[in-house]
Amino acid sequence: MFPAFSLLLYFLFTFNFNAKSISSTLGNQTDHLSLLKFKESITSDPHRMLDSWNGSIHFCNWHGITCIKELQR
């Protein structure tokens, strides 16, 4: 009985961590795409504040964007 219970707990914890990782990845992708869509709606950027908003760096490092690890999905 105990080995079966241990195995069940192992799979539950493994699935839970994988689900959180997938959720975080999908949340990051959604945030990234939403920010790019927002950038497209900006008609004037005279100070070129959005120049860093591109695929060469992670969106958490874009000018004006702050990512807080505790609040990530």
Query: In the 8-state DSSP scheme, what is residue 10?
Result: H
Residues of the chain with pLDDT under 70: 1-27, 70-73
**Count: domains in the chain:** 1
What is d(CA 54, CA 39) in angstroms, rounded to the nearest whole number? 10
- Say if residues 53 and 59 touch (Cβ distance below 8 Å): yes
pLDDT score, position 72: 55
- What residues make up the domain containing 21? 2-71
End-to-end CA distance of the chain: 36
Query: What pLDDT does residue 36 have?
Result: 94
